[in-house]
């Protein structure tokens, strides 16, 4: 059976003139394969898989309408959405944007926001490069997604990604690589696995989770009054 697919790359002037445009169409029963170490640029969304990526029947669009949470936190005015889940991506994703799409967000702390079938946004922290207007994130574990945008670190598009207790902000949660502690006073923190083994002690505001296995952890933070605050952390 012959399979047909259509890829539509639009020039920048056409992209910026429309609110919602199609950048990739794969027809019914069709698929395309992006080979390992290759690169495909979908109107500013660059996918560079480290293993072969198969994209099946879908319509990938780009919208200029930002995502806004119930707390009025906003993404940039560039959102990519796929009608079908793009699954098992391993490699790097580079998100390009224009200055007029920033919505007053701080470029140096932009993060990639990814949504999958559970309809929640998860932030991923990588390299924000304001000089080139890009955010790049490497994914060493398989990622599945149907929407991608960028927002500012600490500004959550999904409320569940943030833990706020007694003035202590822990984000993102769930996380794939790092968690951040926002607290104005001195503290010490300990991280425990599900069997109660302490796996980390720190007083830093950034915790690198890359070396930990996926699963549930308990973060115990002791404040300046020696009070202990506990947070359940999900490592994807």
108 φ/ψ angles, rounded to the nearest 5 degrees: -65, -15
**Quick count: other Cβ atoms within 10 Å of Cβ 22?**
14
Looking at 2.60.220, 1.10.3470, 3.40.1350, 2.60.120, the CATH number of the domain 12-152 comes to 2.60.220
Longest dimension (CA), the chain: 70
pLDDT digit string, tens, across residues 90-104: 999 999 999 999 999
Average pLDDT score over the chain: 85
Closest CA to 96 of 146, 159, 39: 39
- CATH 2.60.40.1270 domain residues, the chain: 162-235
- Highest-pLDDT range among 74-78, 116-120, 225-229: 74-78
Would you state the pLDDT for residue 12?
A: 38
Sheet arrangement for strand 163-165: 163-165, 168-171, 178-182, 206-208
180 contacts 142 by C-beta, under 8 angstroms? no
- The listed CATH number (3.30.43.10, 3.90.226.10, 2.60.40.1270, 2.60.40.1180) that belongs to domain 162-235: 2.60.40.1270
Reply yes or no on whether the pLDDT at 157 is more than 80. Answer: no
Could you tell me where in the chain the CATH 2.60.220 domains are found? Answer: 12-152
């Amino acid at each position: 059976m012959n399979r047909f697919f259509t890829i539509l790359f639009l020039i920048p002037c056409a992209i910026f003139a429309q609110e919602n445009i199609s950048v990739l169409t794969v027809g019914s029963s069709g698929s395309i394969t992006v080979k390992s170490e290759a690169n495909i640029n979908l109107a500013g969304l660059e996918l560079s898989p480290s293993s072969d990526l198969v994209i099946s029947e879908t319509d990938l669009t780009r919208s200029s309408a930002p995502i806004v949470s119930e707390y009025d936190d906003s993404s940039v005015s560039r959102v990519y959405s796929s009608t079908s889940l793009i699954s098992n991506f391993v490699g790097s994703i580079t998100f390009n944007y224009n200055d007029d799409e920033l919505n007053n967000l701080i470029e140096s702390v932009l993060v990639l926001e990814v949504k999958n079938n559970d309809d929640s946004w998860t932030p991923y922290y990588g390299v924000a490069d304001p000089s080139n207007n890009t955010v790049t994130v490497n994914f060493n574990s398989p990622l599945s997604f149907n929407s991608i945008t960028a927002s500012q670190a600490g500004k959550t598009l999904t409320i569940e990604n943030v833990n706020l207790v007694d003035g202590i902000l822990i984000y993102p949660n769930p996380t794939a690589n790092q968690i951040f502690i926002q607290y104005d006073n001195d503290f010490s923190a300990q991280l425990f696995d599900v069997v109660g083994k302490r796996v980390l002690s720190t007083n830093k505001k950034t915790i690198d989770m890359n070396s930990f296995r996926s699963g549930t952890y308990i973060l115990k933070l002791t404040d300046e009054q020696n009070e202990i605050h506990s947070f359940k952390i999900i490592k994807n």
